[in-house]
């Protein structure tokens, strides 16, 4: 049993949800960490339920494991030949003296080439990871331990930190950090929203537009120091009342989430705007640029922290090769969304959140092949994530590829894609 590995994984889990874990169900990220722990104990992680994984984690005796790790280090030290020991001829080994001489340069200082420099964390996340490493290795007091150098520590930060990104958010009371797994374009979108721009995100299905919007809501709330910052959203709109709200049969105003965000301050996500009725969108034009707007309940003043994101699969010019059900958008509507930001698949992020990295790499190769061949089909990160879960559950690779990646394609097209991809 690799005690050091178990300790490392356990500390990563502790940083995520504490010890003991009081949760009933796990997120994918939490589940993957505990599955790694189960594997380190020699168990079949894919067959374990969340309850079993949590129970295994909660039964860990951290103090006992640290003691075992320390005992192992002591045993290794006892087995090592001490400096200055006699060699086979009975002569004393004076390597310790020579080493001592080598450790000093001409002016008596330390040889920096023999001692890796202390690693200085660049942000709060890295500091947290370095602290965890030091807990696992109590003797790690100078950024290195048993040959662990800066590069290895950076690799550990990347591995155990999940490749999270840290974004510094400006706010009236002072900048704060937000860290997590996020799309590479998120910082760019955040800056535009803080400036007060209406942003149009254009990307394929499954590119992470909705997930990004929920993360941005939290960030904007911090940026504006507004604890009750709202999040609202709608899908494709066919009637203006879906966003403006309406008066019911009893004369009572039924408020939409758009009006609530507009009045109280919040981020509104207008999803699939290029699937909407262009005439219905005209009703939004005034509310997007003016400080007041006329709704069925009367004239409403726009909150200074109101922000708007629209998401689309196309650039508003109508249907294309893959998205045949998209409409042309009115020029006045498109003009109110600046900047227009292309949201391509973030394949580095896809690998970080994937349940099975090897399967995801196959999916990415197949995606590139079909794009190069201009074959009309969508292979989004949903295929790699959901298919990866199926792989972990023991489903055969060919079955997963057929159901999650190539669903609906004829055998000849599948063969051509796989040949192009080398799979």
Q: What is the pLDDT of residues 94-118, one digit of tens each?
A: 444 444 444 434 444 444 444 445 5
Which has more confidence, 54 or 158?
54
Instruction: Report the distance separating Cα 14 and Cα 94, nearest Å.
Output: 47
Instruction: Report the distance separating Cα 193 and Cα 309, nearest Å.
Output: 8
Instruction: Report the distance separating Cα 379 and Cα 365, nearest Å.
Output: 10
Determine the Cα angle at 182 with ends 383 and 39, to 5°: 65
Q: Report how far apart, in Å, the C-alpha atoms of 60 and of each of 47, 57, 205 are.
A: 20, 6, 42
- Ranked by mean pLDDT, which of 65-74, 173-182, 275-284 comes out on top? 275-284
Q: Mean of the per-residue pLDDT values for the chain?
A: 75
pLDDT band at 64 (very low <50, low <70, confident <90, very high): confident
User: Which residue ranges form the domains of the chain, and what is each CATH number?
Assistant: 3-68 (no CATH), 183-342 (3.40.50.300), 347-421 (no CATH)
- pTM of this structure: 0.55
- Sign (positive/negative) of CA torsion 75, 79, 82, 86? positive
* Residue listed under structure tokens 């904007």: 220
Instruction: Report the distance separating Cα 72 and Cα 78, nearest Å.
Output: 10
Q: What is the 3-state secondary structure (H, E, C) of 317-377?
A: ECCCCCCCCCCECCHHHHHCCECEEECCCCHHHHHHHCCCHHHHHHHHHHHHHHHHCCCCC
pLDDT band at 247 (very low <50, low <70, confident <90, very high): confident
Instruction: Report the distance separating Cα 135 and Cα 11, nearest Å.
Output: 8
Range in 71-80, 191-200, 202-211, 217-226 the model is least confident about: 71-80
Whether the per-residue pLDDT at 405 is higher than 60: the answer is yes
> H helices within 80-227, ranges in order?
95-102, 124-136, 150-160, 186-195, 209-223
* Residue listed under structure tokens 């090897």: 358
Whether the per-residue pLDDT at 41 is higher than 60: the answer is yes
The pLDDT assigned to 160 comes to: 47
Average pLDDT over residues 313-319: 62
User: For 144-171, what is each residue's pLDDT tens digit?
Assistant: 444 445 555 556 555 544 455 667 777 7
Whether the per-residue pLDDT at 93 is higher than 50: the answer is no
The pLDDT assigned to 149 comes to: 53
Beta strands in 155-278 (DSSP E): 165-169, 176-180, 199-202, 230-234, 246-247, 253-254, 266-270
């Amino acid at each position: 049993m690799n005690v050091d590995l178990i300790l490392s994984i356990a500390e990563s889990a502790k940083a995520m949800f504490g010890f003991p874990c009081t949760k009933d169900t796990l997120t994918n990220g939490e589940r993957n960490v505990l599955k790694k722990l189960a594997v380190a104990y020699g168990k079949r992680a894919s067959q374990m339920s969340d309850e079993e994984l949590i129970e295994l984690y909660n039964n860990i005796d951290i103090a006992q494991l640290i003691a075992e790790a320390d005992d192992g280090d002591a045993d290794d030290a006892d087995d090592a030949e001490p400096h200055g020991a006699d060699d086979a001829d009975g002569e004393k080994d004076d390597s310790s003296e020579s080493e001592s001489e080598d450790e000093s340069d001409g002016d008596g200082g330390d040889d920096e080439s023999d001692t890796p420099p202390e690693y200085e964390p660049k942000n709060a996340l890295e500091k947290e990871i370095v602290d965890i490493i030091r807990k696992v290795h109590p003797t790690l007091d100078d950024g290195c331990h048993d040959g662990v150098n800066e590069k290895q520590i950076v690799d550990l930060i990347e591995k155990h930190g999940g490749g999270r990104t840290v974004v510094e958010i400006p706010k009236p009371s002072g900048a704060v950090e937000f860290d997590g797994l996020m799309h590479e374009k998120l910082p760019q979108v955040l800056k535009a929203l803080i400036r007060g721009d209406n942003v149009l995100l254009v990307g394929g299905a499954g590119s992470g537009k909705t997930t990004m919007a929920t993360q941005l809501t939290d960030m904007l709330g911090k940026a504006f120091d507004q604890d009750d910052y709202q999040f609202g959203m709608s899908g494709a709109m066919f009637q203006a009342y879906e966003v403006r709200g309406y008066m019911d049969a009893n004369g009572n105003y039924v408020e939409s989430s758009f009006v609530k965000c507009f009045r109280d301050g919040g981020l509104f996500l207008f999803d699939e705007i290029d699937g909407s009725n262009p005439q219905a969108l005209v009703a939004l034009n005034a509310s997007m640029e003016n400080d007041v707007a006329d709704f069925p309940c009367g004239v409403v003043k726009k909150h200074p922290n109101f922000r708007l994101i629209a998401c689309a699969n196309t650039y508003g010019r109508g249907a294309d090769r893959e998205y045949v059900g998209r409409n042309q958008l009115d020029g006045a509507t498109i003009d109110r969304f600046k900047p227009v930001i292309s949201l391509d698949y973030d394949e580095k992020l896809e690998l970080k959140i994937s349940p099975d990295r090897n399967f995801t790499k196959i999916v990415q190769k197949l995606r590139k092949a079909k794009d190069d061949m201009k074959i009309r089909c969508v292979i989004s990160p949903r295929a790699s994530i959901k298919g990866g879960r199926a792989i972990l559950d023991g489903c055969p690779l060919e079955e997963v590829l057929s159901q999650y990646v190539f669903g609906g394609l004829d055998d000849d097209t599948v063969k051509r894609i796989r040949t192009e991809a080398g799979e």
